[in-house]
Every structure is written in structure tokens, then in C-alpha cells.
Amino acid sequence: MTLMKKTAAELQALLHNREVSVKEVTEDSFKQIAALDGKVKAFLALTEEEALAKAEALDNSSIEGRGPLFGLPIGIKDNIVTKGTATTCASKMLENFVPVYNATAVEKVNDAGMVSVGKLNMDEFAMGSTTERSAFQTTHNPWNLDCVPGGSSGGSAAAVAAGEVPFSLGTDTGGSVRQPAAFCGVVGMKPTYGRVSRSGLVAFASSLDQIGPITRTVEDNALLLNAISGVDHRDSSSSPQQVPDFKAALTGDIKGLRIAVPKEYLGEGIEEDVKDKVRASLKVLESLGASIGEVTLPHSKYASSTYYTIATAEASSNLARFDGIRYGYRSESAKNLEEIYLRSRSEGFGTEVKKRIMYGTYALSADHHEELYVKAMKVRTLIAQDFASVFNNYDVIVGPTSATTAYEIGGVAENQVTLYANDILTVSVNLAGIPAISIPCGFSNGLPVGLQIIGKHFDEALIYKVAHAFEQATDFHKRTPSIGEGTN
Amino acid sequence: MTKFTAEDVHYFANFAKLTFSDQEAEVFSEIISELVEFGDALKEVDTDNIEPMTHPLQMFNVLREDVPQDVLDRDEMLASVKEHEDGMIKVPNIL
């Protein structure tokens, strides 16, 4: 049985009793990857040599000061910069880009004694929700290899679900941690905007992006968020808000908790089977002492249009930096400076990225700026106010993470509006800047269903408390896909 | 709905420093027309007297001491640069 399906606490016990070494844990991760990733295709790059060297150094280090994540393997989404290891954003534009510094979140997982084993696949520049938009490979869902893992952090979710690594970092701009976590049956947290430094996260939409942990269990997720949170002078939008010990919140006691269920989240467009699993989950939470009330988030139906306008506008500005001059792809055929810009960008970016840059440019143009970009920022205020008024009377909001379970690879038509409509459950959380988690809450035709728990700004501790209480009362997190069975 | 034409594609591509063949422009005009229609849904929302939300957290004047920090190594940075000379990045002659 692989070590990669054990929890942090179980692995620490084994390490502490010297039943395994950090090197053996690390080797086990690479063994799992070698056995499974040919099918799952979660990793874009492996850093085996560096990882094993670090593991040996950790084995020889002092016992003093070892934390709960010491010596444990982690995979990093490929839009988070890693010094000396290519960071491609799954784009031809950055195929050969080797960063000269580490993202703050990467520094923090290193400081916690974690061992990074490699970089994880994603939709190009995090633009997509299936990981099919990667310029390099399509990641497969470990529960059913014919299905997508979700996206854009599809590699991060699939690697954890398959048992290749117990931890990964993803990023969430409009649901990109939570939706793949739901599709792959793992735990994914989108922290409050500002909770985790964005320094070293390749920017997609700066007012929405957050790095978040993906794990098998709620406790492991809390431990990883503990490690990566906190103010950072390299990101002036990171918050000086105190970081509580998220693990301390996992008491199992949710008596008296007031849960709001927005009627829009169990409405039209959500698969019946998904609704059934969510309703059953609410019963579980009720049996643990929570009360449930129906609420409305009246501006939900505009969330997707608001999100696409703001996210593409910010992306068109952020992605202007890729000009073929200082780093990244430079077209061979360009003869002058203007041609370097035009051809490098046109050859380096994929269709989805170009589409979003184009619409963002349109939304920011002098003729349309007021009616689109500024209008969207005003609707964003209304969406945030909807949440605030619910939180006047309730502690958390609960609903599905995604309208459906994982779709078949290639099965989602190029009909972008259908895909976009799916986002309604997740994007409003990013627009409001609040935290939300996805945890496994059932299966439909053998594919996992995700339960989303949304909280107030900086109230991740309460979200974890609720998620953990639910997890302890159910056994969905204990099920693993058959692809990982029989390895080791 | 507002049709985003192939001419519009060429016009906005110029601002975005992208270039499209006429054939690609036709394809993108369809794709972006759908997005324009999608974004137009916002027009029906009453936003009179609503302030735009520019940032999810209200934070002002985030300052730090004015001392150099995290200075990156120039040679390491130049390793990613396609063409450089004497520590400077080379581009084609622009005059």
C-alpha cells in the first residue's frame, strides 16, 4: 500500500517512529507517479534529483522544530514560479521559462520542510475549467480516465486523487481549485483574497487570483493553509490579518451553526443527482446540530457575465507583459520590433487565451469601458452585498461546487456560454473575495460530487470546522479511485 | 445583439498586439460575438448610485521601508533572454 494515501498525521507518526525515512516517502511519490502518471498525465515536470537530495538532507536534519508537514511531498501548479525549475503556465509562450526566484507560497512550503516533486498541468494561463486547454497534454480524471479532471488546477487535483502526492498547490480565479477538487473527489480550498501572498503567482486576474491547497482530507488542507498564509511585503494586497491555527478549529462541534442555502444554487441547470447529494449532505449537517435556512443571492445570475468582463479585462492587461523580449517565446520569423510583439504573442498564446485578451481589450476600450468594465465593477459590488446580507443572519453558505460531475474529455462543446454558465456556483465567491472549500459529498455514476462551503472574509477556520465535522460523519473521503489500487 | 465583425477583430487585435489572418478573424468574430452578447446581460442591472468595486479588500497606502530587498541576479535573469549583449537585452534595430 502506498504512503501517498496516508494523512499528514499518519506519515508523521511513521517518520517519528523511524518506520520510514523522508527519502522513502519521497521515493514512494516518484514510484506512484511512474506507475500512474502515464495514464493520468498530471505532471508537466518532475524534479526527482533535487527532491531526493532535499529528502536526504531532511533525514539528516535535527529532530527539533519539525512541523506537521515535515518531509511530505507536494506538487506545485505550473503557474507558481519555482526557482531553477521551468514554469510554463502550460503555454508555449513560457515553454522554456526558468524563474530566478521562488513564489512566496513555494518558499513557505519549503520552510515547512515539504519536498516539491514537480510541476502540475493546468489550462493555459489558468484559463479554462477542464485542463484540456494545456498546450502540452490533457490530464485525465483518476476516477474515470475518459473524463476531464476539471480545471484549471486539473493536474493538482488529479495528482492528489490518484495518490501520486498527498498535497498540491492550485490557484483559483473563478473556481479553479474548487471545481477540479469536486471533479476528482478531493478537498480544495480557495482562501480569502489576501490570505495567501500572490507573489510569484503568474497573474491572470489580479483582483481575483488566490493560491489554495488541495489534499485528501480537511485536516491536511488546514495544515497546508496554515503553512502558506500570511502577509508578505512582496504582495501589497496580502492581508496583515492574523492567521489563526486552522487545525485548532477542527473540533467536530457545529451545534447551533446557521447554514444558508441559496435557492439559486439548487436551481435550474444543476444536475438532479448533484442536487440530491447536496440535499443529503445538508441532512447530515442538520443531524450534527446545524440549522438550515433558504436564502436568495439575487445577483447570482449576473455573476458569470461580471466575472468574464472583469477577469478578461485584467488578463488583457496582465498578459501584455509577454512580448517576446525579456523572456518567453520569441517568434523566429519577426524582422522588426513590432513583428516580434505581434508574431511572438500570436504564435505563443493558444486560442482560449487570445479570445480572453481580445474580449478584455474590447471591455477596456474607450468606447466600451463605462458600459462594460465599470458596469461589471458596479455589479460586483451588488454581488458582494448579496453575500454580506446573507452573512448578517448565517454563519456559512452551503451548495454544490459544480453543476455537474466531470464531463467526458472532448465532450464539452466549444459552446463557451454553456461552460461559463457552469461557473455560476464558483465565480461569485472570487468576485466577493470570500473563502470557500469543496469537499467530497457523494458519487454519481462513479464520479465524485463536491459540496461547497462558503464563509465570511477571513473565516476559513469556521469553513474547516464545518467541512471536518461533515467529513468525520461520512466516509466519502476514504474512497479512492481504482487506478491507484495495486500499486506498490 | 452587437455583432463583433472580422474588422473589429483586426481593429482590437492591434491594441492587444495580436495578429490574425482573415480566416482566423472570421472565426474569432463568431467567438467574441458570443462573449459580447454574454457581457451585454449586465446592461439590464440597475447600478444607479452603486460604487464600483475595484478590489476585494479595503486596504490603503500599503507601505514599507524604502530599502532595496529581493534584488535579483542580473546574470540569472539574462539566462532567459534570447539575445543580450553587455548585460543589455537586444532587439532588432528600431530606427
Type and span of the H or E element at B76: helix B74-78
The domain made up of A3-263+278-295+387-484 has a fold known as Amidase signature (AS) enzymes (3.90.1300)
Q: What residue of A is the nearest CA neighbor of B64? A: A233
A452 φψ region: left (φ > 0), alpha (ψ -120 to 50), beta (else):
beta
Question: Which residues of chain B are within 8 Å of residue A363 when distances are taken between CB atoms?
Answer: 39
| Confidence (pLDDT) at A419 | 59
Nearest alpha-carbon partner for A343 in A363, A369, A325:
A325
Question: Which residues of chain A are within 8 Å of residue B89 when distances are taken between CB atoms?
Answer: 325-326
Report pLDDT digits (tens) over A16-52: 999 999 999 999 999 999 999 999 999 999 999 999 9
**DSSP designation for A202:** P
| Confidence (pLDDT) at B81 | 87
Task: Please report the ipTM that was assigned to this predicted complex.
Answer: 0.95
Q: Is any Cβ of chain A less than 8 angstroms from the Cβ of B10?
A: no
> Given A96, A341, A381, which is nearest B53 (Cβ)?
A381
User: Alpha-carbon distance A23 to A33, whole Å?
Assistant: 15
Report pLDDT digits (tens) over A387-399: 999 999 999 999 9
Distances A330 to A133, A357, B18, B81 between C-alpha atoms, Å: 21, 19, 13, 10
Q: Delimit the domains of chain A by residue range.
A: 3-263+278-295+387-484, 300-382
Instruction: Assess whether pLDDT exceeds 70 at residue B76.
Output: yes
Report pLDDT digits (tens) over A361-376: 999 999 999 999 999 9
User: Alpha-carbon distance A58 to B83, whole Å?
Assistant: 40
Residues 6 or more apart whose Cβ sits within 8 Å of residue A436: A178, A189, A190, A426, A429, A452, A453, A454, A455, A463
| Confidence (pLDDT) at A421 | 56
Q: Look at B17 and A194 and tell me if their CB atoms are within 8 Å.
A: no
Average pLDDT for consecutive 10-residue bins of chain A (488 residues)?
A: 95 97 98 98 98 98 94 98 97 96 98 98 96 97 97 98 98 97 98 98 98 98 98 94 97 98 90 96 98 96 94 98 94 92 97 97 96 97 98 98 93 57 86 98 97 98 98 96 69
- Suggest the residue from A319, A358, A380 to mutate for an interface test with chain B (most B CBs closer than 10 A): A358
Residues 6 or more apart whose Cβ sits within 8 Å of residue B73: A100
| Confidence (pLDDT) at B68 | 86
User: Alpha-carbon distance A22 to A472, whole Å?
Assistant: 28
What b/e readout covers A335-351, taking b as 16+ CB neighbours within 10 angstroms? eeeeebbbbbbbbbbbe
Q: Look at B32 and A359 and tell me if their CB atoms are within 8 Å.
A: yes
